[in-house]
């Protein structure tokens, strides 16, 4: 894989449901994988910075896992709330290259 | 503590003109990265400045150039503007080897 790909492009979640989505990234020359949350009319905000294979990070109801050998990361939202509605971006950092995915837009409906 | 600031907020330019966008990093940060975000796409990495030098560069033509000043603030210059340069330009700062990025509010550039 040469580019960073996120799937799905968008998803609608009922309040209270859990969801997850994927970021695929080039595994060669890997340095770090970041997740950002971008709410409308705000600046992207860092959620996690992950560097080690098998790494798992958690912030409240949001968690992420990392597999550097196969080049993917999952972001999980447990018990989605309307305030979780945002675009979630992953950023692949490798030697000499920073690449964002196109993002997964999450809409949580009450 | 001021976060990352960018100016101007909005800008309208004509095709062929030149534009300069400005960014002040978060206090304590020494690295500034610039991104272009076109509608419906994720941010595309333009370049990164550290110690007043361009450290990394994405796939952008030479029309895109930058500068970092001794106080770590940065400018992005775009020459010979094209309609396709219309986008949101984001600046992000970080501290050296810690790549967690703090983003500014962006500058919306419209080229007519």
A-chain CB neighbours of B4 within 8 Å are 43
Which residues 44-63 of chain B have a CB within 8 Å of chain A?
44-45, 48, 56, 58
Average pLDDT over residues B34-46: 91
Give first-to-last CA distance, chain A, whole Å: 37
Whole-number Å distance between alpha carbons of B11 and B46: 19
Given this model, what pLDDT does residue B97 score? 58
Query: What percent of chain B shows pLDDT beyond 90?
Result: 86
Q: B74 φ, ψ to 5°?
A: -145, 155
Given this model, what pLDDT does residue B14 score? 98
DSSP secondary structure code for residue A79 in this structure: S
Report chain A residues touching chain B, CB-CB < 8 A. Answer: 4, 6, 31-32, 34, 36, 42-46, 49, 89, 91, 93, 96-103
Whole-number Å distance between alpha carbons of B54 and B48: 6
For residue A34, give the nearest of A99, A102, A87 by alpha carbon: A99
B98 has a pLDDT exceeding 60: no
pLDDT in tens, B73-89: 999 999 999 999 999 99
Average pLDDT over residues B1-17: 93
Record: contact B45-A100, CB cut-off 8 A? yes
Closest CA of chain B from A98, distance in Å: 6
pLDDT in tens, A72-90: 999 999 999 999 999 999 9
pLDDT band at B3 (very low <50, low <70, confident <90, very high): very high
Whole-number Å distance between alpha carbons of A31 and A28: 9
């Amino acid at each position: 894989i040469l580019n960073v790909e996120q799937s799905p492009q968008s998803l609608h979640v009922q309040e209270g449901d859990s969801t997850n989505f994927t970021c695929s990234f080039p595994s060669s020359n890997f340095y770090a994988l970041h997740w950002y949350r971008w709410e409308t009319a705000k600046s992207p905000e860092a959620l996690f910075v992950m560097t080690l294979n098998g790494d798992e990070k958690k912030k409240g109801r949001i968690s992420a896992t990392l597999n550097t050998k196969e080049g993917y990361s999952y972001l999980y939202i447990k018990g989605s709330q309307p305030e979780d509605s945002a675009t979630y971006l992953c950023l692949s950092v490798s030697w000499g290259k920073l690449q964002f995915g196109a993002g997964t837009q999450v809409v949580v409906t009450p | 503590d001021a976060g990352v600031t960018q100016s101007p907020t909005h800008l309208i330019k004509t095709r062929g003109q030149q534009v300069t966008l400005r960014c002040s990093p978060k206090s304590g940060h020494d690295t500034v990265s610039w991104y272009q975000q076109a509608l419906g796409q994720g941010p595309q990495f333009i370049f990164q400045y550290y110690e007043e030098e361009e450290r990394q560069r994405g796939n952008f033509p030479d029309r895109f150039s930058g500068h970092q000043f001794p106080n770590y603030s940065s400018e992005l210059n775009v020459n010979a503007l094209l309609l396709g340069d219309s986008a949101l330009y984001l600046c992000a700062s970080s501290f050296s080897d810690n790549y967690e990025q703090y983003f500014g509010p962006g500058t919306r550039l419209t080229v007519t």
